[in-house]
């Protein structure tokens, strides 16, 4: 997804130097919507309700400086015996500056063996990512990470 930094500047620079373009619809983003710390908090509340979210047990592996905001590898793991009566039920990942606060929900169970998921996400801007785990005993645990996202140096003006 396109970063929202100075979209009009990008369009100007894009139109300034182009030669023959590929015959696809040029796509630019014009001031897209943005989540805020408040909408992220609201999205988190939808998942945890009124429960207290404690920090700990969860580990978020995400590069502190991303190679490219369009595809950022991310791994969330939770310390848990993953036994029949003590396991991770689900993992929820949120962000504060993409257009939407939710990124993904992952539902595990005692047969998972290891509470760890990996995926690749899009990050629109430098921001905080929060991962929350729901355990079988109803408790919630979280971790956050700050990620720096820079615009790629030479981007295309049309897709």
Q: Quote the least distance from Cβ 73 to other proteins, whole Å.
A: 5
Cα(86)–Cα(109) distance, rounded to whole angstroms?
10
Binder of other proteins out of 59, 122, 136, 145 (CB under 8 A): 122
* Footprint (CB under 8 A) of other proteins, residues 82-101: 95, 98-100
Residues 18-47 that bind other proteins (CB under 8 A): 18-20, 22, 25-30, 32-33
Q: Least separation, in Å, of the C-beta of 141 and other proteins?
A: 18
- Two structure tokens written together for 118: 């990996």
Torsion angles phi and psi, residue 15, rounded to 5: -75, -25
Residue 128 CA to residue 81 CA, distance in Å, equals 28
Provide the minimum distance between the beta carbon of 27 and other proteins in the complex, in angstroms, as a whole number.
5
108 near other proteins (CB under 8 A) = yes
Cα gap 125→45, rounded to integer Å: 23
Q: Provide the mask over 44-83, with x wherever binding to other proteins is found by CB under 8 A and - wherever it is not.
A: -------------------x-x-xx-xxxx----------
Contacts of 135 (CB under 8 A, 6+ apart): 80, 86, 87, 88, 89, 141
Q: What letter does residue 22 receive in the DSSP assignment?
A: P
Q: Are 88 and 135 in contact (CB under 8 A)?
A: yes
Interface residue with other proteins among 6, 51, 114, 146 (CB under 8 A) is: 114
Contact footprint for other proteins (CB under 8 A): 1-2, 11, 16-20, 22, 25-30, 32-33, 63, 65, 67-68, 70-73, 95, 98-100, 102-109, 111-123, 148, 150-159
């Amino acid at each position: 997804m396109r970063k929202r930094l100075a979209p009009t500047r990008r369009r100007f620079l894009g139109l300034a130097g182009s030669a023959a373009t590929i015959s696809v619809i040029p796509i630019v983003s014009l001031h897209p919507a943005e989540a805020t710390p408040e909408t992220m908090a609201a999205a988190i509340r939808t998942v945890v309700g009124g429960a207290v979210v404690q920090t700990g047990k969860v580990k978020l592996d995400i590069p502190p400086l991303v190679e490219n905001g369009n595809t950022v590898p991310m791994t969330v793991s939770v310390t848990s015996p993953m036994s029949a009566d003590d396991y991770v039920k689900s993992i929820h990942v949120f962000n504060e500056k993409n257009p939407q606060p939710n990124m993904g929900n992952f539902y595990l169970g005692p047969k998972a063996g290891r509470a760890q998921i990996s995926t690749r996400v899009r990050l629109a801007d430098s921001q905080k990512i929060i991962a929350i785990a729901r355990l079988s005993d109803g408790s919630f645990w979280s971790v956050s990470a700050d990620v720096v996202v820079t615009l790629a140096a030479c981007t295309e003006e049309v897709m």
